Structure 1
Amino acid sequence: MITVPYNLPTAEDLPDGDETPVDNELQNDIPNILLNILKWIWNSREDWFWGVDMCIYYEPNIEEPIKSKSIVPDGFLALGVERLKNEGGRLSYVLWQEQVLPILVLEVVSHKYNGEYDDKLQEYQNLGILYYVIYNPLSGRRGLYKKHQSLEVYKLIDRKYELIPAISKLAENGKMFWMPEVGLGIGCERGNSGKWEREWVYWYDRSGVRYPTAEERATSAEERATSAEERAKSAEERAELERTAKEQAEIAVREASRIALQERQEKEKLAAYLKSLNINPDEI
């Protein structure tokens, strides 16, 4: 156990952001989609934290806490920490308090280049973060972005980031990277989020099966409910048809019995009349 000096600044002493606004929706949407999927996958776990646009403080400044060194990824994952610190949640992620380095950071490339492929890569590498994931919505365009794939995953090997290959080809040119230390794969493929159809970043299981979003789970649940309702309605209709058929059969039996009784009574009446005339009905 590392002993933290009592005079180090705490999260309450430090700014909870660098006041740099995101410059596209994806920098918020993608990390939040990943967070919401994690909440479902790891619903029973309390030993993880996913931060969205949150400061990671890695070097304290005791004299001027506001000058403590930090970096703000679009998203990051820490394992082996408390899921919830308190009722108000974390203000920032302070390494000398948490004592656990994030295992993964995610950056969504800005329209105005912000050093994702060089300065930030070097900084995360120096910090020793195992996985660095870059999603590039501008992939394929000219200049810097042309040589990079839409999703790249770097792994720290011998203190240096190496680009790792995708191990699974998915539908519609999607791809996935398996991360055994995390127990999840991260990848991208075309999908729909709030009626916005495009390529999104998702979590995957080891076999390359994508975990559904909350929106997809809700749609699936609604479809199952509709299907169950239709099956119930169909079963009810079959039962009603069976009841109708049974009632009709009973009516037919009663009608046949009535006719048979009527014929018997008429036959007996005729026999009695013949006998009154001294005629044996059996001889006719």
Structure 2
Amino acid sequence: MSQITSSVEPVNFTPELPTSLPDHTQLPDSDGTFVKNLQEHPQSILLTDSIMPMLQQLHPDGQYCIGQDSGIYWRITDPPERGAEAPDWFYVPNVPPVLNGEMRRSYVLWQEYVAPLIVLEFVSGKGEEERDTTPVTGKFWVYEQAIRVPFYAIYEVKKAQVQVYQLVAGHYELISPNERGHYAIPPLGVELGIWQGQYQNATLPWLRWWDEQGNLLLTGEERAEVERQEKELAQQQAETERQRAERLAEQLRALGVEPEA
């Protein structure tokens, strides 16, 4: 029996890689799309502002990064934007806040090597994009399989709910809420949940942080208001004590007793 041979040359499927990889200064910092709704910006500020004291405790050296609607580049593509996801909010521990003397325009994994600890997405539609598990292109798949973010939260303001996933054995598992209805993020020492109230000029079910004892993490403005109220209360108590002392002094004088004696 004769042996069949082929004259077809083998196809090389190895992609041609660039001789040098681009950094955050060479990659687009926007994909040119509009923010999905006007609530996204104050929601991101609320999360960042309120968690700052906790991050200062965790990172007294200031080595951490927070991104708000910023790109995370995880692969080389043409155009470059196709190789990035832009979470509404994310946090990366133990990385310098600036690179080469300037703030990051984006977060480039082949330049950083440290994945975000938590990524938050704010749903504007029905949530299909945030839950898309399509390999390579689906946002859920990218966070789970490519970037491998330990905690992924999907916040839906219209439903007043948040779903939190944790990476376990290479796959996301939905976390159950605790007795307070919050979701624990142990590496951060915080809980994530829904808070119904007014922030800036809107009353909504906002996504917020609590500490592990269930105390709401306040914004700088809220902390200042609490301090103002405490100072005002202390002044009222001091005034009450002063008036009480004056009445007692008057009563003693009426009895012929000098208060100083």
Is the 1:133–1:153 Cα contact (8 Å) retained in structure 2? yes
Matched, 1:151 2:170: no
1:182 Cα deviation from its structure 2 partner: 3.0
Higher helix share: 1
> Match of 2:149, as an amino acid?
I
Unpaired segments ≥5 residues, structure 2: 1-17, 133-137
Q: In the alignment, which residue of structure 1 is the partner of 2:15?
A: none
Q: Pick one of 16, 26, 34 that aligns with 1:13.
A: 26
Is the 2:28–2:81 Cα contact (8 Å) retained in structure 1? no
Matched, 1:39 2:52: yes
Q: In the alignment, which residue of structure 2 is the partner of 1:103?
A: 117
TM-score (norm 2): 0.77
Larger Rg: 1
Matched, 1:125 2:163: no
CA distance in structure 1 between the partners assigned to 2:55 and 2:129 by the alignment: 32
Unpaired segments ≥5 residues, structure 1: 140-148, 170-174, 255-284
Deviations 1:94-125 (A, max 9, x none): 11222210011100002376601112112211
Residue 29 of structure 1 aligns to a residue in which SS? helix
Percent identity of equivalent pairs: 30
CA distance in structure 2 between the partners assigned to 1:194 and 1:40 by the alignment: 20
Residue 237 of structure 1 aligns to a residue in which SS? helix
| Cα 1:21/1:67, change in 2 over 3 Å | closer
Residue 11 of structure 1 aligns to a residue in which SS? coil
CA distance in structure 1 between the partners assigned to 2:167 and 2:205 by the alignment: 26
Matches within 5 A, 1:191-202: 191-202=197-208
> Match of 2:177, as an amino acid?
A
Matches within 5 A, 1:47-66: 47-60=63-76, 66=80
Q: Pick one of 182, 185, 194 that aligns with 1:188.
A: 194
CA distance in structure 1 between the partners assigned to 2:120 and 2:40 by the alignment: 10
CA distance in structure 2 between the partners assigned to 1:227 and 1:6 by the alignment: 66
CA distance in structure 2 between the partners assigned to 1:21 and 1:192 by the alignment: 25
Is the 1:155–1:164 Cα contact (8 Å) retained in structure 2? yes
> Match of 2:75, as an amino acid?
E
Q: In the alignment, which residue of structure 1 is the partner of 2:14?
A: none
Q: In the alignment, which residue of structure 2 is the partner of 1:92?
A: 106
> Match of 1:163, as an amino acid?
L
After the TM superposition, which of the residue ranges 209-218 and 195-204 deviates more from structure 2? 209-218
Is the 2:165–2:173 Cα contact (8 Å) retained in structure 1? yes
Matched, 1:167 2:187: no
Q: In the alignment, which residue of structure 1 is the partner of 2:135?
A: none
Residue 187 of structure 2 aligns to a residue in which SS? coil
Deviations 1:157-209 (A, max 9, x none): 2222221111223xxxxx21112233221111312212422211111222333
Q: In the alignment, which residue of structure 2 is the partner of 1:209?
A: 215
| Cα 1:32/1:85, change in 2 over 3 Å | farther
1:16 Cα deviation from its structure 2 partner: 1.1
